[in-house]
Amino acid sequence: MFLDRVKISIKAGNGGKGSSSFLRTKLTANGGPDGGDGGRGGHIVFKATNDMNTLYSFRFKKKFVAENGEDGHQKNKTGRMGKDEVILVPTGTVLINPKTDKIVADLNQHGAEFIALRGGNGGHGNAYYKSSVKQAPTFSQMGEVVEQKEIILELKTIADVGLVGFPNVGKSTLLSVISNANPKIANYPFTTIYPNLGVCEVLGETFVVADIPGLIEGASQGLGLGHYFLKHVERVRLIVHLVDISESEGRKAEEDYEIINKELASYSADLPKTKQIVVFSKCDLIEEEELQAKVKSFVKKHKIKDYLCISSYTRDGVEDLKKKVLGLLKDIPKKPPLDVEEFDFDKKDYSTIEIKRNDDGSFVVSGGRIDNLTRGVVISDQLSFAYFQNRLKEMGVIDMLKDRGLKVGDTVIIKDISFEYLE
């Protein structure tokens, strides 16, 4: 089963807790602090691979968690880093921020990697806090906790050539005769419900062809799953536009051609800039004289330069088409990666300090700098609490509170802890 869009949950590993320990040896019964730092948590990493062509595996597993960092040890030993969670995705997958619907990463090459969430930093051990004033700190710092996030994975097929056209114009049949693909072929609309890929070999060279599912009028507005189909055309370098010149399905060839081009332009302003070759299919179903007259009129009216007539059934014109496509591709550069939003799912700003005053007169202190500080506070530990108070003064928090009207006896709330201010 083909699946090309899915939302999953990701969580990087938390940082390990710093150790609170003291040196103990045969010769030293009461040594100084020697607690090591906690290890960093594992990252969430997405990696593109050519061994996958669908996001179907994410239908069953939608939550990915990296390993937590190990707690610190005695003798100043840092805890082991958590193992990264490497998530394999098909080449051509883009990662989307669900809050903005903007692309944050484009994994358009085999082996490309993107760190979506970084593991939490490990907490400092008590050895870190030793100073001339604090000779024997008994407290350590908790590891950084990382929040769970959601991210959207969307697959945009990577191919050199995209076959477009109305249902039943012969795209799947053509793909089967020019490549190694074996698509399902039948005579009814929407036989193809997902892009089929095939590798075409000609003159000792190869290129990848994608059979884009049949489009209909209104596809650019999502009609007939149009959005899900059109996105697979975005990356191709050359569009092979199949037109049923025999009109055997009861539709008008010129109307079909105009509708498809209109839908491509409506979906993306860049698609009309993509090189296009028109292929008149099912030429075996029409008399030669009538065929030549219709093709001549068609290309003149629409000012078409690159075109060919073929029959996938009799194979007439198929080899010429393969050579023509190869020649055109040699002059068309590969498309650049998609524009990505400058966004970091786990961006942490440890420089901020925010103060808000509640209606009851209490003060709430928050911000990245405060969050980082409170990870090392143990309220029940006298030395830890004293360190916390001193750091608030050194960081200028007390002065900032006084500027906002702080008086003796007022309540100050930091995280989930309330204090009464005393001088």
Domain locations in the chain as residue ranges: 5-155, 161-329, 354-420
The confidence score (pLDDT) of residue 217 equals 47
Q: What integer pLDDT is reported at residue 113 of this predicted model?
A: 95
- Residue 135 Rama label (left phi>0; alpha psi -120 to 50; beta): alpha
Average pLDDT, the chain: 84
Q: What is the pLDDT of residue 175?
A: 85
What's the pLDDT band for 80 if we cut at 50, 70, 90? very high
Query: pLDDT per residue over 142-159, tens digit each?
Result: 899 999 999 999 888 778
**Among 99-108, 250-259, 374-383, which stretch is predicted with the lowest mean pLDDT?**
374-383
pLDDT at 418: 84
Question: Could you tell me the CA-to-CA distances from 240 to 60, 137, 169, 187, 275 in Å, in that order?
Answer: 36, 72, 12, 21, 9
Fold: same for 5-155 and 161-329: no
Q: How many CB atoms lie within 10 A of CB 51?
A: 9
User: From 3.40.50.720, 3.40.50.300, 2.60.40.1180, 2.70.210.12, which CATH number describes the 5-155 domain?
Assistant: 2.70.210.12
Question: 17-26, 68-77, 137-146, 368-377: which range is least confident on average?
Answer: 368-377
* CATH 3.30.1360.30 is right for the domain spanning 161-329: no
pLDDT in tens, 316-339: 999 999 999 999 999 998 877 666
Q: Where are the beta strands (DSSP E) in 77-148?
A: 85-90, 93-97, 102-107, 113-117
Given a contact cutoff of 8 angstroms between Cβ atoms, the answer to whether 103 and 341 are in contact is: yes
Burial class of residue 195, CB neighbours in 10 A (0-12, 13-18, 19+): buried
44-49 sheet: strands from edge to edge = 85-90, 44-49, 113-117
Angle between helices 171-178 and 318-329 (to 10 degrees): 80
| Residue 289, pLDDT score | 92
User: At 368, is the pLDDT very low, low, confident or very high (cuts 50, 70, 90)?
Assistant: confident
Position 198 scores a pLDDT of 81
Token pair for 67: 């390993």
Say what the pLDDT of residue 28 is.
63
The enclosing H or E element of 172 equals helix 171-178
Q: What is the pLDDT of residues 23-34, one digit of tens each?
A: 877 666 677 899
CA-derived radius of gyration, the chain: 32
Give the per-residue pLDDT at 15.
95
Tokens of 14: 């938390």
Residue range 194-251, pLDDT digits in tens: 677 788 888 888 888 888 875 544 434 444 444 456 777 878 899 999 999 998 888 8
The answer as to CATH 3.30.300.350 being correct for domain 354-420 is yes
The DSSP string of 372-394 is HHHTT--TT-HHHHHHHHHHHHH
| Average of per-residue pLDDT across 48-54 | 86
The DSSP symbol for 77 reads B
pLDDT in tens, 200-215: 888 888 888 888 875 5
